[in-house]
Structure formats: C-alpha cells, structure tokens
Structure 1
C-alpha cells in the first residue's frame, strides 16, 4: 500500500506546471551531488514524481542515487520564490523516449515563462535546459517527506500531514 500523499493540491499544481527543479543525492561519505533537471512531472495525486536528467552531466548524481537509493528534489518558482523540497528512498530509472517529449516541451515553456517574467530572455532557458533525448534518463520516486523551503520563518519546516491522511 502506497503512503498517503504529502503534497497539497496547490503544491502538486506548482510542481506540475513546471518550475525550477534541482535534484540531489549523496555518496556513502555524505558528500552531496546535484544537478538541474531538464524536466519534471508529477501524478495528479502527488504520489509519484519523475525528474529528467542528462546522463552526461549527472554521472556522480546517478551513481549516488543508484548506490544509496536516496533522492532529494527542490522545486522552486523563480517568479515567487515559493519552494518545496521532497525526499525519498528508492528510485527507479529508465531511458527517456519520444513519449516524454510533450512533458519536456511543456516544462520548457513553463520555465521560459517563469524566467522571462523576472527579466531574462527565453534563450537563457533554452540554453540551460538543452538536451539530447538519447542522453536523458527519467528518475521516478514516491515522496516520503516534504519541507517548506520558501525563504522566510518557515523555511526548513516539515510540511504537516494532509487532513484525513493516515499517519
């Protein structure tokens, strides 16, 4: 039985629309590794998240996730600084394929809007998120913990359980 959802519909909507996505893990000595994802997706109930990483740029991160099974992902809206971090143990990976292109395109468009809304050119996003499809890996996981990382007095606080969710 999957764990109860951790994310409110508002946070699922924020993640789903496409915001800045940074993926992290660590090695056995707790040394961090991280990389910007070039896309992300979330199921409507927030129960599963998929992030897309370029293998050629994420070798250490992918190795750390494979050996530790640990993942932490920060989703942040550049236009508002609203930020949430999710963590999990246990990831699955698969090569990205043509069926992922609509999601990746939607993510790119959303990030262009976010970045352009704060004064940058769309070309910045296109360069930052450029990829070759055969270089991408899709990493999926079920969030086990979530934290408010929006700058301010609640930054770092665990998100409270959803009303009606089983403990």
Structure 2
C-alpha cells in the first residue's frame, strides 16, 4: 500500500548525508529555473524535506515556487552518480528557522569530504557553495513523487515512497 506522502527508510538513509542537491521549478511562462542548495534535511518520518538555497541569487526560483508550489529536488552522490529526484506540487517558501540556518555548515563540511576523494579542493567547494547567511531561504516539500535518476537503465523509474 502506497503512503499518501513520505519517504521509505532506504531513501531517507540516502538523503541523510551531504549530497549534491539541486532544486528546480519553472516560472509562470514555463521557463526552467534551477538552484544549487547549500543544505537539505529530511524529517525523521520522511514526510517533509527542507532544502536551503541562497534566496537572493535565486530570487526568480523562490518567486516561482511561492507562486506555483511546484518543486523538484535532485539529490546526487557525486562519487557514484546515484541520484534521486523528489517532486511536490504544493511546496512552500519560508524564512529558515534558527535550527535550519545552522544546517549549511556541517552539510558543506560533509560535501567537502565527499568531493575531496575525487580531487576537489576545499577552497573550490566552498566557493561553489558560497552564500550569505542572511540570504538563506527554506523550501519545504512533502515528497509526492520519487524517482531514480541514476544514469542507466532504471533512470526515470518511480521509487515507492
């Protein structure tokens, strides 16, 4: 039986690490908008995802999500290219809580550790992930659709949530 919304334990374990995270939507005219997230967190029950982005640098994406509620987030493990896409058509935008505002530091440190094994320097990763704390915006979504996006024959297949 499929739950209304939520992620199973296997998906939650995959997401509970410092991965490459990109958020995407489209504006009212259908133009695609993409942002790199600086942190993400899944709730213990898998029913809610929080993705933090630089709201100033991605103002058009923030406005589009606020206006349409549509959001897709792709989580990728760089060393293997294993990827999971999660979609919601009722996402929301909010100022991050104090707890959410603290997520990027450890998240980025973990991402640096992931990429160090691939030859990327800490300075490079910090430059790519740079943001102003005052510009953080939280995108909240309840996973409605989950897909395997790992390159290969199963790319695009639905993952039971």
Question: Structure 1-normalised TM-score?
Answer: 0.88
Asked if 1:82 is matched to 2:94, the reply is: no
Alignment of 1:3 with 2:1, yes or no, is no
1:26–1:100: structure 2 CA closer, same or farther, 3 Å change rule?
same
Q: Encode CA deviations 1:47-79: one digit per residue, 9 max, x unaligned.
A: 100011111111111111112110000000001
**Alpha-carbon distance, 1:93 to partner:** 2.1
**SS of match in other structure, 2:14:** helix
Match of 1:63 in 2: 63
Structure 1 residue 99, shift from structure 2 partner = 2.5
* Contact 2:66-2:93 at 8 Å conserved across structures: no
- Stretch deviating more after TM superposition (88-97 or 132-141): 88-97
Q: CA deviation at 1:28?
A: 2.4
Distance in 2 of aligned mates of 1:79 and 1:4: 29
2:146–2:158: 8 Å Cα contact kept in structure 1?
A: yes
Conservation of the 8 A alpha-carbon contact between 1:112 and 1:122 = yes
**Structure 2 runs not aligned, ≥5 long:** none
- Deviation, 1:86, is 0.4
2:135 matched to 1:135? yes
Deviations 1:123-156 (A, max 9, x none): 1111111222111011111010010000110001
CA distance in 2, matches of 1:107, 1:69: 25
Q: Mark the CA change 1:4 to 1:140 in structure 2 (over 3 Å): closer, same or farther.
A: closer
Q: How does 1:70-149 map to 2 (within 5 A)?
A: 70-149=70-149
Aligned length: 159
Q: Does the 8 Å CA contact 1:96/1:134 hold for their aligned counterparts?
A: no
TM-score scaled by length of structure 2: 0.91
Residue 97 of structure 1: how far off its partner (Å):
4.7
**Structure 1 residues not aligned, in runs of 5+:** 163-167
- Residues 15 and 92 of structure 1, relative CA distance in 2, 3 Å threshold: same
